[in-house]
Amino acid sequence: MGMCLPCLGGPGNDLSTSPDRVSNLETRRRELAEAAEKRQKETTYRGVKNPQAVERNKKNKEMEKQEMRPSLPGGGLKWQVG
C-alpha cells in the first residue's frame, strides 16, 4: 500500500490548487449554471410553440391590470348618503 497524502510522506501534488485547475473549476461551474438555465427555460415553455408571444401576453395582461387600478388614494369609491 502506497502513501498518497503529503502528511504521510506520499506525493501531495493532487491536493494542490494550481491556477489552471481553479480556472477549469470556474469554467465548469459556469457551464453547469448555463445548462441549468437552459433546462429551466425548456421546462417552462414545454409544449409552447412561440415563447415570445407568451411573454408578450403576460406583459400585456399586467399592463391592463395596472391601468384598471384607480389612481385615487381612497380606491376610487365615493360614499353617497341619501
44-74 core/surface letters (b: 16 or more CB in 10 A; e: else): eeeeeeeeeeeeeeeeeeeeeeeeeeeeeee
| pLDDT score recorded for residue 9 | 60
Find all residues with CB under 8 Å of 51, minimum gap 6, and list them: 41, 44, 45
Provide the percentage of residues in the chain whose pLDDT is more than 90: 30
pLDDT digits (tens, 9 = 90+) for 31-63: 999 999 999 988 887 888 888 898 999 999 999
Judge whether residue 28 has pLDDT over 70: yes
- Grid cell for residue 32: 453547469
**Number of Cβ within a 10 Å radius of residue 12:** 13
